[in-house]
Amino acid sequence: MTNALVGLYVVTVLGLAVYGLLGFCALGLFLRHRHDSGQATTPVNWQTLPAVTVQLPVYNERAVIGRLIAAAAALEYPRDRLQIQVLDDSTDETTALAAEAVAEYAAAGLDISLVHRANRRGYKAGALGEGLAAARGEFIAIFDADFVPAPDFLLRTVPPLLADSAVGAVQARWGHLNDAESILTGAQAVALDKHFIIEQLVRFRAELFPKFNGSAGVWRRACVVDVGGWQDDTVCEDLCLSTRAVLAGWKFYFAADVVAPAELPPTITAYKAQQARWAMGGTQCLTKYAAPICRARQTPFARLYALLTMSAYFSNALVLLLVLVQIPLLLSEARLPVWLMPLGLAGLGQPILFALAQKTLYPDWPTRLRRLPALLLIAFGMAPNNSWAVWRGLFSRDVVFIRTPKGQTAGYHLSPGRMLAVEVALTVYSATALFLAISLGNSGAIVFLLTAVLSFSYVALLGLRESRTPKPVAAIIS
């Protein structure tokens, strides 16, 4: 029994070390490619710009729908070549608010329409697919409800598509509207900054299976059609389409200097919903495309990088498993291999990337690093939430797209669900293990278990505080 526990522990630590080393790999690639000039773009010729369709997929977004439509209507582009589609699946007053705004801008001469569906068949992918059938643009720009693109967005993202007919999509960098609102939103901003300015830059410039992030980007319609259009068998329709495009030989362009600000989830329950969807969708895409990626014509390193990044949420399950084996290991007084200790250094990869991203983007980066401890606690504390999502991505055939609520002050709320009880239980379990480690004088486990106690309790306390909010309308886990 003891040997089996030690073996499980060793395999878990090795798995976490692989994902940790992936961070150092991204660091090296970033240092190598950060000064690459990227793709040359053609100057904007207002007279010859092609038609663009802007798609705004929304579902029950009454708090932000007016802001979204206003931002789309303010885009600088020839009016005779700009089409805006509000793809609305709402079941509340969002539809009426959108209809009013659409009528106002249409009366002013803008080609804008409201496409309301009575069902959510295919969720976001279904809405985008139906909109594409009625789109007249050569290029398709997509903005989720929480985004506020700058007026010059299209003028800065369309040129790369014009410069190279092999480019299938252009992705802009996400900015933040409310990163100073709370510790939670500040922590999310640090995580997203790292993802975009380091991980996405590396993916695109090193040609390591670049991906579209679902919003604040422009697709070449011919590319979308060529690879089979939007598919709704995963909840990450963006990663699904991106992977098919890369496998088909299309190129991607990352407009790192174009920033589209968006609203960060203001509550821990909303953030859990977002992360669970990304974890589940990434896992679904892994099961769908692992074999095609292994057979792809890309380099072996590119294929390995794609598989590891697509499975990155598996690290949450490894963290959770590492917590759960602590008490049995402590009680058995097992002796762990000494050579495992240096592998702990692999865990420094991600924190280094977080700090580097802040230094790269902001002059006041030392001040912004104060958000890092909260991010690390939240990331650890989200392990049960994301592990459950990975499990569902592997074994559940029920594809349910749970949106991330925006504008919490408008009455959109999520209930913490049963996951809150799981987080409380893990807090108690980790505290028990910590007390046991201290009593046995096992110093090697104390730091890890203390981190577990702080992380699970912090996320649980945030959830408990939010659970007092009235009128919950949905649960993350049912």
* Distance from C-alpha of 215 to C-alpha of 141, rounded to nearest angstrom: 8
Residue in the structure block whose two tokens are 């949450």: 316
CA distances from 376 to 299, 351, 383, 393, 448 (A): 33, 8, 11, 24, 13
DSSP-derived pairing of the beta strands 251-262 and 167-176: parallel
* Distance from C-alpha of 255 to C-alpha of 250, rounded to nearest angstrom: 17
Name the CA dihedral angle for 234, 236, 240, 246, rounded to a multiple of 10 degrees: -170
* Distance from C-alpha of 172 to C-alpha of 154, rounded to nearest angstrom: 10
DSSP-derived pairing of the beta strands 251-262 and 139-142: unpaired
Q: Which of 338, 343, 334 is nearest to 440 (CA)?
A: 334
* Distance from C-alpha of 19 to C-alpha of 15, rounded to nearest angstrom: 7
Of residues 111, 226, 238, 257, which has the active-site annotation? 238
Contact 9, 322 (CB under 8 A): yes
Q: Which residues, other chains included, contact 303 with Cβ-Cβ below 8 Å and sequence gap of 6+?
A: 209, 293, 294, 296
Contact 375, 190 (CB under 8 A): yes
Q: Is 238 one of the annotated active-site residues of the chain? A: yes
Q: Is 144 one of the annotated active-site residues of the chain? A: no
* Distance from C-alpha of 185 to C-alpha of 252, rounded to nearest angstrom: 29
Element (H or E) spanning 406, and its range? none
Residue 199 token pair: 């991980």
* Distance from C-alpha of 322 to C-alpha of 384, rounded to nearest angstrom: 12
Q: Which residues, other chains included, contact 195 with Cβ-Cβ below 8 Å and sequence gap of 6+?
A: none
Of residues 89, 144, 179, 232, which has the active-site annotation? 89
Catalytically active residues, by annotation: 89, 238
